[in-house]
Structure 1
Amino acid sequence: MTSADTPYDKGSEVRGIFEKIAGYYDRMNFVMTLGRHAQWCREVAARVAPAEGGQLVDLATGTGVIALEMARRYPDATVTGVDFSAEMLRRAKSKPGADAVCWRQADAMSLPFEDESFDGITQGYLLRNVADLDGVLREQFRVLKPGGRIAILETCPPSGLMKPVMRWGIRFVVPLLGQIVARDRKSYTYLESSTLAFASPEHVAGVLRGIGFRHVKWRKKFFGTNVILWATKPR
């Protein structure tokens, strides 16, 4: 709890959580998605679909699953993995194939890159963890080249007939798994609450269009609790 005269710094809180959970992040993603997480990361890498070669960046790269998949899928491209967590990056750098990626510690809200630096941008579970959704997507628009594509993997609040069941599962099962698998219920209580409070794909798509992205599409996954969105910056 912060006092009225103490600004709340969501970035610092989130950074602390991800520093803490880095050691079991991959394991928990596997368990919480019943093994589907790696498949979704492969789809995100495929959706960015750059021209031969080029510059690609994976934001909120975490342990580098999407960045490493892009390096494998697009061997002629230069792939950069960016995260604000030093411990996440340390884990990513220890994985097989990590030498094929340029790893960079940076904040997605203020990227240390020139305008129109990248042919493609990917990200996994970044948007729900930032205080300014519009701002972080505008920053991506800035560093993306005209004609380039972004591909986003994100959680989304359940909807439809399964909504009550899935909300119950997210609210109670996710923290319980955090306790059993990672012995860290508190961190996964935050991840549960950030999922339920996050915007719908329709809202995110509207923000993307408002910024200037075109051809915005999405596909829900896992009973509507995860989503992949993709969009293009006009030439």
Structure 2
Amino acid sequence: MTSDRARRGKGSEVHGIFQKIAGYYDRMNFVMTLGRHEKWCREVAARVAPVRGGQLLDLATGTGVIALEAARRHPTVTVTGVDFSEEMLRRAKAKPGAGAVRWQHADAASLPFEDEFFDGITEGYLLRNVEDLDRVLREQHRVLKPGGRLVILETCPPSGLVEPVMKWGMRVVVPLLGQVVARDRSSYSYLESSTRAFESPQSIAGALRGLGFKDIGWRKKFFGTNVILWATKGD
């Protein structure tokens, strides 16, 4: 079992990385996905489909791409964007339309919200960066209302015929892009390794099913290196 000290150590390391990369996070996402990242974020915001006048939580909001799109797409919904990186939140708050979102600094493993408070939850690239995946998913289940939808944008390890080529590309190209675009090879070496080591969509779906989620599905993107996964909390 991982000790609390080890969890805090990894949490501090990941927090430091995201504090460091906040200034070029959007640019690197654009480059690494060949411009597809914002389209995926729009799909996430559309799929969550919260009820009119409801509450929507965007976890690991980062620079707010999903949260801002959700606020535009669902103008009657109260959108709350949460992140553990203060610098990411500062960047999000400076974007056009940021006043339509409630921004909050919080840890996804211990959310400061009441049970069954939100009608929908979205998140982008959260799960691969947490120490206790089950705990984070349990927190999402706790704060989501029955019948509410969870929509996840995440990386996933490549598989199938393209697996060797994509693994080589991720191992070599992603850190190189970090060096060229952001002058930061080490942070993107971590992000590349966390992608290759992360769970498959089938594994995440199994964890969600075990918590009581239903109607689970996913769609892979970009040669299987990214995935949008969705699920509904059971009654």
TM range (shorter): over 0.9
Looking at structure 2, the residues matched to 183 and 211 of structure 1 have their Cα atoms a distance apart, in angstroms, of 41
- 1:180 alignment partner in structure 2: 180
Looking at structure 2, the residues matched to 141 and 11 of structure 1 have their Cα atoms a distance apart, in angstroms, of 22
- Correspondence list, 1:39-188, <5 A: 39-188=39-188
- Greater fraction helix: 2
Looking at structure 2, the residues matched to 54 and 44 of structure 1 have their Cα atoms a distance apart, in angstroms, of 17
Counterpart AA for 1:160: G
- 2:6 alignment partner in structure 1: 7
The CA deviation at 1:53 is 1.6
Looking at structure 1, the residues matched to 86 and 50 of structure 2 have their Cα atoms a distance apart, in angstroms, of 28
Structure 1 unpaired stretches of 5+: none
State the secondary structure of the residue aligned to 1:140: helix
- 1:203 alignment partner in structure 2: 203
Looking at structure 2, the residues matched to 53 and 67 of structure 1 have their Cα atoms a distance apart, in angstroms, of 16
Is 1:214 paired with 2:211? no
Counterpart AA for 1:35: G
The CA deviation at 1:7 is 3.0
Looking at structure 2, the residues matched to 23 and 177 of structure 1 have their Cα atoms a distance apart, in angstroms, of 15
State the secondary structure of the residue aligned to 1:154: strand
State the secondary structure of the residue aligned to 1:161: helix
Taking structure 2 as the reference length, the TM-score comes to: 0.97
Looking at structure 2, the residues matched to 104 and 187 of structure 1 have their Cα atoms a distance apart, in angstroms, of 24
State the secondary structure of the residue aligned to 1:229: strand
State the secondary structure of the residue aligned to 1:7: helix
- 1:18 alignment partner in structure 2: 18
Counterpart AA for 2:13: E
The CA deviation at 1:234 is 1.2
Identical-pair percentage: 78
Looking at structure 1, the residues matched to 122 and 28 of structure 2 have their Cα atoms a distance apart, in angstroms, of 21
Looking at structure 2, the residues matched to 167 and 184 of structure 1 have their Cα atoms a distance apart, in angstroms, of 20
| Residues matched between the structures, number | 232
The alignment's C-alpha RMSD in Å is 1.2
Looking at structure 2, the residues matched to 7 and 143 of structure 1 have their Cα atoms a distance apart, in angstroms, of 26
